Structure 1
Amino acid sequence: MTDKVRIDNLVANPFTFVVNSLNGNNDAYLARQAEFESNVRSYPRKLPLAIAKAQGVWITDVENNHYLDCLAGAGTLALGHNHPDVLQSIKNVITSGLPLHTLDLTTPLKDKFSAYLLSLLPGQGKEYCLQFCGPSGADAVEAALKLAKKHTGRTGVISFSGGYHGMTHGALAVTGNLSPKEAINGMMPEVQFMPYPHLYRCPLGIGGKAGVKALTYYFENLINDVESGVRKPAAVILEAVQGEGGVNPAPVEWLQRIRKITQEHGILLIIDEVQAGFARTGKLFAFEHAGIEPDIIVMSKAVGGGMPLAVLGIKKQFDAWEPGHHTGTFRGNQLAMATGLATLQYLKVHQVADKVATQGEWLKAKLVELQKRYPMIGHVRGLGLMIGIEIVKPNEAQDHMGCYPADSQLSALLQKKCFEAGLILERGGRNGCVLRLLPSLLITNDELAIFLDKFEHALIAAGAKSA
């Protein structure tokens, strides 16, 4: 087919062209993507497919292969692919006459979305206001950091090893992963990293409750010690469950102490709920497991119901903005407010968080059973349907805490074998040694059983031998 014929077909019938133009060949689409796009693309290198359609937890590629999707847009698609309530909300906007973008001008739809979202925040949002940011979580992180500095008049920020907050300038500066920072000079100054508790690999080499207690003391001492060398920061930013960092839930007592210390010192606590928020962990927000209230809540991914949207929940007493001091063209995305409202309503009305909490415990128990047969599964952790499986080298020596060395190569091979078995999942953690599950929150027990079956087949295909 010549380029002219392709263009003519695209103009005449764009949707048919998309599905049929390359004769249903994944490799052909991927080759053209490599021509069209920058080297920065990452997912196609690990998950080499071209998607033709998707429904619920299932994806179909252009070759009519079917995959159980346990990635769900990195947690964006809380209700899975093309949920009927979400699709109907899009149709309602399209036929309503509303503009698709309104900057920060309000509409009846935005008013309803705002009221509903606020009602889900601590204390039904009575102490909070909303700030609509640019369309990504990183944009909201940037706004939160700026606001904390503006309110306090201070410049420093404390973040945590293993944390992920985005790839824009300030968000990258407070992100733990060193790889994307290597060639970037002039990062945001006065960012102090501290160790984050790890359920399997304690950063202090202590482990257990003693390790958590020591990390808590370490943080408190840093803030109080006049010889620490660290000026009092404007903000502390953290994830209540680290996602990209390897699915590490914060111990309740540690997080509660962080909240107490920041309050005592007038330091704003920013909780990044971009990936963990909206029933993902079995609570509406991950910080609810510790019973705390952040000063600023960063929300994106699921809050837009699959469409781009990022929002801050700000304690009103810290709303130091002046008109126009943080803007963004796409903060008035009406489609995202419609799909977000439909998603939030479904999550609450159907008590999805309770379902997710129960399923998460069941699934972790099944994975622990699998761990007994396949010792390369070093650790299973997480909350709700945000689960991490750390892959290790069980034939090598354990460290003094009883942990085996991480096996990033086997983790990568397992991801590949899962894909070949029709299972899509992501990797994270140090050197990508943790396989991560972020499926639709509406995944059924039968579909989770299919996951377990496919995962065990991948283990066997990767050379694992049952104990």
Structure 2
Amino acid sequence: MAVTESLAEEAHGPAGAVHEGILRRQSARESSARTYARALPIVPVRARGLTIEGADGRRYLDCLSGAGTLALGHNHPVVLAAVRQVLDSGAPLAVLDLATPVKDAFITELFRTLPPGLAGRARVQFCGPAGTDAVEAALKLVRTATGRSGVLAFTGAYHGMTAGALAVSGGAPEVQAARLPYPQDYRCPFGVGGPHGAELAARWTESLLDDPKSGVPLPAGMILEPVQGEGGVLPAPDDWLRRMRRLTADRGIPLIADEVQTGVGRTGAFWAVDHSGITPDVMVLSKAIGGSLPLAVIVYRDDLDVWQPGAHAGTFRGNQLAMAAGTATLAYVRENGLAERAGRIGARLMEQLRADIGGWACVGEVRGRGLMIGVELVEPEGTGEPAFGAGSAAVSRGGAEPLDHGFAAGPSGGGSNGSHGSYDPSAAASGMKPGAYDFGAAPSGGERTAYDSGAVPSGGERGAYGFGAGPSYGERGAHGTGAAPFETRPGAYDFGAAPARAPRPAAPRLAAAVQRECLRRGLIVELGGRHSSVVRLLPPLTISDEQTAAVLDRLTDAVAAVARADERHGPHGARGHDSGPCPGPGTD
């Protein structure tokens, strides 16, 4: 590497001097908006597969993978060969939207991978170079096609950093889209988790759409991530996705699937929507489809293609090198069954992580799908900021605060360290207890047949929901969340006392400490989630069994080191007399 050699010659000293000099100049000259560089003070100079070598001579296992861009890892031979072929051919590198053999090959390979219901009638629009550009194009497309302007989006979503993409993301400063609850187990917004939490989220959405006084007119589209990545690695239940597809199709609302990070085999299927079998109306694609180079497209149903010539454009939409690299990547993943392999490796990784670190009290949940894995760090004894603020259903072990209608805050469903609330058949018996809803006999429209807002007695008498009329959702454990299955029959669900391990407050300080300890051990990981308290793994699909074991060892060691240090020193350098240590595996 000539660049590396010239740096070493220029330094006339240890490699560390070059490393430090580059970091100093970056800090002095680059925008304060930089992110990864702050938490990961490395200077990559060589890379191959999972491995990065820094200017200081250290080697790292890269489980960031360009935020999921590198499906085949760094500098995979098939990608390099495809890029060299275009460079050596003398072909133009930027062609706007002109037809070229390189583009034709890319579209052919892309369409070969699409969900069957879309592949036969798909259109593709090449956008700007980033995923956020494709999100903007998708929103513009459905607004043009429907003549409507509103959009349905989900809490915790991340769709990009441009204005329109931010407006439908979870952290938007101004509300320009209707926000819907995204189902999850550990921090379920309804304090339920599992199939019942997903059912409540679906009913909320259905009610919003069908209530003429909801304040939400019929929208131009619904946008969702099949797995929320930046939101904390939250896989959507397959049945919930099918429910969203039915709700939108029945009402003429285009469904947009944001597969920017989940696509190209990442979750164990080529596209994450393939797990549920749904066919979106629009798919937003970027990151891995460019084979490590900038490329973003939307693929959509042909009847939505009502744009006039020039209605959407972008200077860099004809990037030939990215298309060549993307074609090579898509074909390699498809031909070598890397999506299925990612599913198998990811399942083993999560199972082993739960066994190795699940016993630490500061590990709230291990979850994910395929090679999209998250480890949520929590405050061991419930200290710190609450997960969702005042009134959160994510209650600490010390007890439950009452919710509206006399309910006590109930279980949130758990992963490796969480548990669902128990089923209480007595609550669905002939007499309704105070604090009980019963939807078991509800007609298909979901009308309530019984309601009693009486307060739950101080002794913790349980209120009940019955969900007999709703669809039966599969176990969340199938998505790699490790959640306990539910007993489901028409009747009651226990909203009473908090579970043995209710969700604790998020611990971004511990997640940052784990990230630092990983880096010390030569492992690069990302942070995500609402409070940056989720350690994320996004290794390339080509990770070997030996490398998987090394990643597991380093992450396990880093979590253990942070947990033990927290036992000794606590969040403020020393624990108070009323705060116990972070219990380890095998302790209560």
Shorter-chain TM-score bucket reads over 0.9
Percent identity between the aligned chains?
47
Q: Relative to structure 1, is the Cα distance of residues 150 and 19 closer, same or farther in structure 2, using a 3 angstrom cutoff?
A: farther
Q: Greater helix percent: which structure?
A: 1
- Equivalent position SS for 1:430: coil
Name the SS of the counterpart of 2:341 in structure 1. helix
Is 2:343 aligned against 1:357?
A: yes
What letter corresponds to residue 328 of structure 1 in structure 2? G
Matched, 1:293 2:286: no
Query: Superposition pairs for residues 315-464 of structure 1, below 5 Å?
Result: 315-396=301-382, 397-398=396-397, 400-401=410-411, 402-464=502-564
Work out the CA distance in 2 between the residues paired with 1:377 and 1:367.
10
- Residue 155 of structure 1 deviates from its aligned partner by 0.5
Deviation at 1:199, TM superposition (A): 2.1
Residue 251 of structure 2 is aligned to residue 265 of structure 1: yes
Q: Where does residue 164 of structure 1 map in the other structure?
A: 158
Q: 1:421 to 1:15 in 2, by over 3 A?
A: closer
Match of 1:126 in 2: 120
Look up the equivalent residue of 1:28 and give its one-letter code. G
Partner of 1:142: 136
Q: Counterpart in 2 of 1:235? A: 221
SS at match of 1:394: coil
The verdict on how the C-alpha distance between 1:91 and 1:15 changes in structure 2, with shifts beyond 3 A counting, is: farther
Aligned to 2:387: none
- Alignment of structure 1 residues 205-224 onto 2, 5 Å: 205-224=191-210
Give ranges in structure 2 of 5+ residues lacking alignment.
383-395, 401-409, 412-501, 565-582
- Tell me if structure 2 keeps the 8 A contact 1:371–1:378: no
1:443 match: secondary structure: coil
Tell me what 1:5 maps to: none
Residues 418 and 424, structure 1, Cα contact 8 Å, conserved in 2: yes
Q: Which runs of 4+ in 1 moved over 3 A?
A: 13-23
Q: Find the aligned partners of 1:300 and 1:287 in 2 and give their Cα distance.
A: 15
TM-align CA RMSD: 1.5
Any conservation in 2 of the 1:118–1:130 contact (CA below 8 Å)? Answer: no
Aligned 8 A contact 1:77 1:306 in 2: yes
* Structure 1: segments with no counterpart, 5+ residues: 1-12, 182-186
Equivalent residue for 1:41? 34
The CA distance in 2 between the partners of 1:429 and 1:71, in whole Å, is 15
- Structure 2 CA distance for aligned equivalents of residues 463 and 255 of structure 1: 36
Q: Which residue of 1 aligns with 2:63?
A: 70
Q: Which has the larger radius of gyration?
A: 2
Give the conservation status (yes or no) of the 8 Å contact 2:227–2:234.
yes
Shift of 1:19: 5.7
Aligned partner of 2:79 in structure 1 is: 86
The residue type equivalent to 1:441 in the other structure is: L
Determine which of 288, 297, 300 is the counterpart of 1:311: 297
Give 1:443 deviation, angstroms.
0.3
Match in the other structure for 2:431? none
Task: Tell me, yes or no, if the aligned pair for 1:155 and 1:190 is still in contact at 8 Å.
Answer: no
1:18 is displaced (CA, Å) by 4.8
Q: Does 1:101 align with 2:87?
A: no
1:304 Cα shift? Answer: 0.2
Contact 1:19/1:52 (8 A) holds in 2: no
Tell me how far apart the structure 1 counterparts of residues 545 and 364 of structure 2 sit (CA, whole Å). 24
Distance 1:377 1:444 in 2: 26
Q: 1:333 to 1:19 in 2, by over 3 A?
A: farther
- CA, structure 1 residues 105+423, in 2 after alignment: closer, same or farther (shift >3 Å)? same
SS at match of 1:378: strand
Supply the distance in 2 between the matched residues of 1:222 and 1:456 (Cα, whole angstroms): 43
| 1:406 partner amino acid | A
CA contact (8 A) 2:358 2:366 kept: no
What code does the residue aligned with 2:521 have? Answer: A
By relative contact order (CA 8 Å, sep 6+), the higher-ranking structure is 1
Name the CA distance, whole Å, in 1 between partners of 2:212 and 2:272. Answer: 33
Mapped to 2, the partners of 1:77 and 1:90 lie a distance apart of 15
TM-superposition CA deviations, 1:306-332 (whole Å, max 9, x none): 000001111001111111110000000
User: How far does the alpha carbon of each residue in 1:14-70 deviate from its partner, in whole angstroms, 9 at most, with x for none?
Assistant: 664356544533221111011221111111100001111111101110011011100
**What number of residue pairs does the alignment pair up?**
447
What amino acid is aligned across from residue 131 of structure 1 in structure 2?
A: Q
Would the aligned equivalents of 1:357 and 1:383 in 2 still touch at CA under 8 Å?
yes
CA contact (8 A) 1:78 1:441 kept: yes
Matches within 5 A, 1:149-188: 149-178=143-172, 181=173
Report if the CA contact (8 A) 2:360-2:563 is conserved.
Answer: no
Indicate if the aligned counterparts of 2:184 and 2:197 stay in contact, CA closer than 8 A: no
TM-score where L is the length of structure 2: 0.74
Q: Distance in 2 between matches of 1:121 and 1:459?
A: 39
Q: Secondary structure at the match of 1:431?
A: coil
Letter in structure 1 aligned against 2:196: A
What is the alpha-carbon distance in structure 1 between the residues aligned to residue 563 and residue 204 of structure 2? 42
The separation in 2 between residues aligned to 1:346 and 1:274, in whole angstroms, is 18
1:198 is aligned to 184
